[in-house]
Amino acid sequence: MKRETEWETFAHEADVGVRGSGITLAEAFAGAAMAMMSAICDPARVAARDAVTVVCTAPNEEMLLVDWLNALVYEMATRHMLFSRFEVSIGDRHLLATAWGEPVDVAKHQPAAEVKGASFCELAVRQEADGRWTAQCVVDV
């Protein structure tokens, strides 16, 4: 039995691919965010303590995924935070989400690399034959 939200990274020669999947589009987006966090550090080391609200609007779902991941990159960079839990809702190409995390603690989190941005490389948002949603792209590290 597959879980509601699943995530993984996939190989790219220079950078890192991130992929989320879920029963809903929103769960797939949450999974993609978790995959991006896992490219930075082990999310299990990050306490879901402080909440940050993220809002995005885009002309299509693929652009919405890029915007969502880039909004998280921005929040991490300007708040000096890492995230480990996401709640996402999506309707009519509008995204409203809460990301939970805590300030970067290098000794505790052991972050390997910051993400510079989410790219359009390998970008795909699709509903699979089994009805589950997949959301993926390559992020530049």
Partner 1 sequence: MDLAKLKQRGPFEWVLPATGRMRVPGVIFASRELIEGMDAKVREQVANVASLPGIVAASYAMPDAHWGYGFPIGGVAAFDADDGGVVSAGGVGFDISCGVRTLHTRLKLAEVEAQQARLADVLYACIPAGVGSTGGIHLDAAGMAAMLKGGARWAVQEGYGTEADLIHIEEFGCVAGADPAAVSEQARKRQRDEMGTLGSGNHYLEVQAVSEIFDAAAAKAYGLAVGDVVVSIHCGSRGLGHQIGTDFLREMVLAAPGAGIALPDRELACAPLKSALGQRYLGAMRAGINCALANRQILSHLARQAFAEVFPGARLSLLYDVSHNTCKEEMHTVDGRRRRLFVHRKGATRAFGPGHADLPHEYAKVGQPVLIGGSMGTASYILAGAAGTEERAFGSACHGAGRAMSRHEAMRRWHGRAVVDELAGRGILIRSPSSRGVAEEAPLAYKDVGAVVDASDRAGLARKVVRLSPLVCIKG
Restricting to residues 19-78, name those near partner 1 by CB under 8 A.
Answer: 39-42, 59, 63, 66-67, 70, 73-74, 77-78
Q: Is 140 in the site for partner 1 (CB under 8 A)?
A: yes
**By the 8 A CB rule, do 85 and 48 touch?**
yes
Binding mask 78-97 for partner 1 (x = CB under 8 A): x-x-x---------------
Q: Which of 116, 124, 127, 128 binds partner 1 (CB under 8 A)?
A: 116
Report CA dihedral (111, 122, 15, 141) to the nearest 10 degrees.
-50
CB of 89 to partner 1, least distance (A): 22
Q: Supply the DSSP string of 61-84, one letter for each residue.
A: HHHHHHHHHHHHHHHHHHHTEEEE
Distance separating alpha carbons of residues 27 and 117, to the nearest angstrom = 21
Q: How far is the CB of 127 from partner 1 (least distance, A)?
A: 20
Q: Is 18 in the site for partner 1 (CB under 8 A)?
A: no
Distance CA 99, CA 19 (A): 18
Sequence-distant (6+) residues with CB within 8 A of 66 are 58, 118, 119, 120, 123, 137
> 7 with 34: CB under 8 angstroms?
yes
Residue among 12 and 132 whose Cβ is closer to partner 1: 12
Q: Based on CB atoms, which residue is closest to partner 1, 4 or 94?
A: 94
Q: Residues in the site for partner 1, rule: CB under 8 A?
A: 9, 11-16, 39-42, 59, 63, 66-67, 70, 73-74, 77-78, 80, 82, 103-104, 106-107, 109-114, 116-121, 123, 138, 140-141
